[in-house]
């Protein structure tokens, strides 16, 4: 809502000024008056930047790891004319920054791009590397209509690339002319792990064009899937995985990532979710809030085309959060808890899991919890391992939400003295489980489990024999032999 309020404030101010001018001057608007228009040039870079700011490359923040040293022009390699843009992509361990990226911004008040249907450019690489993101609409100011295309793999020959515009009518005063971001080339695997190497690519003939050959627009929300979840009053439903695919004149299908501002969202019951009232998290991600009990479905359109995918929220009414933890922070190693922030790094609530489980991490009443539906097995994982040798217990708040509960097993998994979370099965690994009997769980109520670490004696499905070495814990796992559904909160070791 913060952005909406800001926009509304500006509109209100402008309307107010307009009213003052109108009432004090009492002049009729001339029939000759014309709406303001803006430069409609589509040229971005031919042999030189066209109408861009003096520092036409504005880098992402170096404090965030962006490398500002690798951007330049090249008068020896170009597609057409006399020069091109040369990008030297750094390796992740480069002291000047481990990736490169930024934007080109219009020098003036913005351009009217409503007459075009695509951003196009030519590119080639020193090898068949991949540019992570290319797009437009980001201006580092208040750009409302950013669009990116992800993972564009280059060849070593010049090739033309196309980024369709989801709705050109939105771009009547656009300042964000171009965006790119690229990281090192991984020649071993596709996992960012520091073994990537630097490489080089070139860009040329960047411009907005009216191709007239782009068709079959297919907007999508939630990746085009029909998602359904049990939620509560106060739950935040994020408007995620917004995409649109197009078929180019060549037959190639291209998918882009449009801003939420291109979409018009609607709810089948605005008393339960009102999509006219968008809210935003601290990172600017849009969401809507569940207002009451009942069921409603969120859908969307883009440029009058119905988007594939939906979100059906089955609101169960008021949400009661898990009991607030009271143990001192210094006595706790936190895994997942809003009460104890700053625990493990890069927590993954689905480090491993069975294929039938549905996993989400909703936020209700300002508190985040985990929702595992149709759970067979799942594991929380994180970077490195946790030394819980000075702790005595594992705490878990759990609420069963299905009525056929048979049992619930909590497991802790040790990755041995090598202190590396490299998957269970090494010669120095161990794991153990603890069975929570069904009579301990009550449907719809939070139950606080405080399990002595010495009680993880049960063998695990992954091959652990019980009594794990707690000095190198890499996972906390949950198992249900009857495929029940659970809410989980406040997972932490304590003494």
Taking residue 228's Cβ as centre, other Cβ atoms within 10 Å add up to: 15
φ and ψ at residue 454, rounded to 5 degrees: -75, -5
Pairing verdict, β 159-164 and 118-125: antiparallel
Query: Can you give the pLDDT at residue 33?
Result: 52
Distance (Å) of CA 471 to CA 377, 389, 414, 427, 430: 23, 5, 7, 16, 11
* Burial (Cβ within 10 Å: 0-12, 13-18, ≥19) of residue 350: middle
Neighbouring residues of 16: CB distance < 8 A, sequence distance ≥ 6: none
Give the burial string for 402-433 (b: 16+ CB within 10 Å, else e).
beebebbbbbbbbbbeeeebeebeeeebbbbb
The DSSP-derived string for 47-86 is SSBSSB-SS--EEPPGGGTB-SSSEEEESSS-SSTT-EEE
Give the burial string for 453-468 (b: 16+ CB within 10 Å, else e).
bebbebebebebebbb
As a whole number of angstroms, the distance between CA 404 and CA 264 comes to 40
The helix (run of H) or strand (run of E) holding residue 199 is strand 199-209
The DSSP-derived string for 384-446 is EEE--TT--EEEEEEEE-SS---EEEEEEEE-TTTT----TTSTT-EEEEEEEEGGG--TTS-
Whole-angstrom distance between the N-terminal and C-terminal Cα of the chain?
Answer: 41
For residues 200 and 86, is the Cβ–Cβ distance under 8 A? Answer: yes
Best CA proximity match to 149, nearest among 130, 167, 127, 168: 130
Query: Can you give the pLDDT at residue 402?
Result: 79
φ and ψ at residue 192, rounded to 5 degrees: -65, 105
For 126: left if phi > 0, alpha if psi spans -120 to 50, otherwise beta; the answer is: alpha
As a whole number of angstroms, the distance between CA 12 and CA 21 comes to 14
Best CA proximity match to 299, nearest among 265, 269, 258: 265
Q: Please name the residue that has the structure tokens 């005595």.
A: 392
As a whole number of angstroms, the distance between CA 173 and CA 112 comes to 5
As a whole number of angstroms, the distance between CA 413 and CA 431 comes to 4
As a whole number of angstroms, the distance between CA 321 and CA 278 comes to 24
pLDDT per residue as tens, the chain (495 positions) = 223 222 233 223 333 333 333 333 333 444 455 556 889 999 999 999 998 887 789 999 999 999 999 999 999 999 999 999 999 999 988 999 999 999 999 988 999 999 999 999 999 999 999 999 999 999 999 899 999 999 999 999 999 999 999 999 999 999 999 999 999 988 776 666 667 889 999 999 999 999 999 999 999 999 999 999 888 898 899 999 999 999 999 999 999 999 999 999 999 999 999 999 999 988 899 999 999 999 999 999 999 999 999 999 999 888 889 999 999 999 999 999 999 988 898 899 998 888 888 898 888 888 899 999 888 899 999 888 899 999 999 999 999 887 766 678 999 998 765 655 555 556 678 889 999 987 888 888 999 999 999 999 998 877 778 888 888 898 999 998 887 889 999 999 999
Distance (Å) of CA 348 to CA 282, 336, 383, 398: 20, 10, 9, 18
């Amino acid at each position: 809502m913060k952005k909406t309020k800001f926009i509304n404030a500006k509109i209100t101010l402008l309307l107010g000024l307009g009213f003052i001018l109108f009432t004090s001057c009492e002049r009729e608007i001339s029939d000759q008056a014309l709406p303001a228009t803006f430069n409609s040039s589509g040229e971005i870079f031919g042999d030189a930047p066209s109408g861009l700011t003096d520092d036409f490359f504005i880098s992402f923040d170096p404090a965030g790891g962006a490398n500002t040293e690798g951007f330049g022009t090249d008068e020896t390699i170009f597609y057409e004319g006399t020069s091109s843009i040369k990008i030297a992509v750094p390796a992740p361990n480069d002291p000047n920054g481990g990736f490169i990226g930024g934007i080109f911004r219009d020098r003036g008040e913005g351009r009217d791009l409503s007459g075009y249907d695509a951003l196009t450019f030519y590119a080639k690489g020193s090898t068949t590397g991949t540019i992570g993101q290319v797009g437009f609409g980001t201006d580092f100011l208040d750009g409302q209509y950013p669009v990116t295309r992800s993972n564009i793999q280059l060849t070593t020959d010049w090739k033309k690339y196309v980024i369709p515009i989801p709705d050109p009518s939105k771009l009547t005063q656009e300042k964000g002319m171009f965006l790119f971001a690229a990281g090192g080339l991984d020649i071993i695997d596709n996992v960012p792990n520091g073994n990537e190497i630097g490489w080089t690519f070139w860009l040329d003939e960047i411009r907005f064009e009216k191709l007239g050959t782009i068709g079959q627009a297919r907007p999508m929300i939630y990746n085009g899937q029909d998602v359904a979840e049990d939620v509560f009053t106060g739950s935040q439903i994020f408007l995620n995985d917004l995409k649109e695919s197009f078929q180019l004149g060549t037959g190639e299908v291209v998918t882009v990532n449009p801003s939420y501002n291109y979409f018009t969202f609607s709810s089948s019951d605005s008393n339960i979710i009102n999509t006219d009232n968008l809210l935003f998290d601290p990172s600017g991600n849009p969401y809507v809030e569940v207002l009451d009990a009942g069921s409603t479905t969120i859908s969307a359109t883009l440029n009058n085309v119905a988007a594939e995918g939906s979100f059906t929220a089955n609101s169960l009414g008021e949400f009661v959060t898990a009991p607030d933890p009271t143990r001192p922070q210094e006595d706790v190693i936190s895994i997942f808890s809003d009460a104890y922030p700053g625990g493990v790094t890069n927590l993954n609530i689905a480090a491993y899991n069975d294929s039938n489980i549905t996993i989400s991490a909703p936020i209700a009443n300002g508190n985040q919890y985990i929702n595992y539906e149709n759970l067979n097995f799942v594991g929380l994982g994180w970077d490195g391992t946790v030394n819980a040798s000075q702790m005595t217990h594992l705490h878990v708040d759990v609420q069963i939400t299905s009525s056929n509960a048979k049992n619930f097993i909590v497991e802790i998994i040790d990755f041995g003295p090598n202190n590396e979370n490299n998957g269970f099965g090494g010669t120095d690994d161990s794991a153990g489980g603890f069975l929570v009997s069904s009579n301990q769980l009550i449907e719809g109520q939070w139950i606080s489990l405080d399990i002595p670490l010495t009680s993880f004696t049960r063998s695990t499905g992954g091959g652990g024999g019980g009594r794990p070495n707690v000095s190198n814990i890499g996972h906390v796992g949950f198992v249900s032999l009857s495929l029940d559904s659970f809410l989980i909160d406040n997972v932490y070791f304590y003494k």
